Amino acid sequence: MSSQWIFLNGQFVKKEEAVVSVYDHGFLYGDGVFEGIRAYSGNIFKLDEHVNRLYDSAKSILLELPYEKEEFKQVIVDTIRQNELSDAYIRVVVSRGPGNLGLDPASCPTPRVVIIAEALALFPKELYERGLRLGSVASRRNRPDVLSPQVKSLNYLNNILVKLEANQAGVDEALMLNDQGYVTEGSADNIFIVKNGTIYTPPVYLGALEGVTRNAIIDLAEEHGYELKQEPFTRHDVYVADEVFLTGTAAEVIAVVDVDKRQIGNGLPGEVTNHMLQLFRELVVRDGVQCYPENKKDVAV
Q: How many residues bind ligand PMP (CB under 6 A)?
A: 14
Longest CA pairwise span in the chain (Å): 62
144 near ligand PMP, rule: CB under 6 A: no
Q: In a 3-state reduction of DSSP, which class is residue 125? A: helix
189 near ligand PMP, rule: CB under 6 A: yes
Segment (H or E) for 137: strand 132-140
d(CA 173, CA 147): 22
190 near ligand PMP, rule: CB under 6 A: yes
Active-site hit among 14, 15, 73, 152: 152
8 A C-beta contact, residue 34 and residue 152:
yes
Query: 131 or 248: whose CB is closer to ligand PMP?
Result: 248
State phi, psi for 278 to the nearest 5 degrees.
Answer: -65, -45
Q: How many helices (H) and strands (E) does the chain have?
A: 8, 16
Query: 85 or 151: whose CB is closer to ligand PMP?
Result: 151
Q: Which range in 1-9, 15-23, 162-170, 186-194 contacts ligand PMP by CB under 6 A?
A: 186-194
36 near ligand PMP, rule: CB under 6 A: yes
142 near ligand PMP, rule: CB under 6 A: no
Q: Are strands 173-177 and 132-140 parallel, antiparallel or unpaired?
A: parallel
213 near ligand PMP, rule: CB under 6 A: yes
211 near ligand PMP, rule: CB under 6 A: yes
Active-site annotation holds for 152: yes
203 near ligand PMP, rule: CB under 6 A: no
Minimum distance from residue 251 beta carbon to ligand PMP (Å): 8
Chain-centre distance for alpha carbon 152: 9
Minimum distance from residue 241 beta carbon to ligand PMP (Å): 19
With vertex at residue 121, the alpha carbon angle to CA 29 and CA 40, rounded to the nearest 5 degrees, is 100
d(CA 43, CA 288): 5
Q: Within 10 Å of residue 125's Cβ, how many Cβ atoms?
A: 8
188 near ligand PMP, rule: CB under 6 A: yes
57 near ligand PMP, rule: CB under 6 A: no
249 near ligand PMP, rule: CB under 6 A: yes
Query: 13 or 120: whose CB is closer to ligand PMP?
Result: 120
Strand partners, 9: none
Q: What distance, in Å, lies between the first and last C-alpha atoms of the chain?
A: 35
Side chain identity at residue 192, one-letter code: F
214 near ligand PMP, rule: CB under 6 A: yes
Strand partners, 176: 185
Select the residue interacting with ligand PMP from 248, 265, 270, 288 (CB under 6 A). Answer: 248
88 near ligand PMP, rule: CB under 6 A: no
List, by residue number, the catalytic residues.
152
Interface residue list for ligand PMP (CB under 6 A): 36, 159, 185, 188-190, 209, 211-214, 247-249
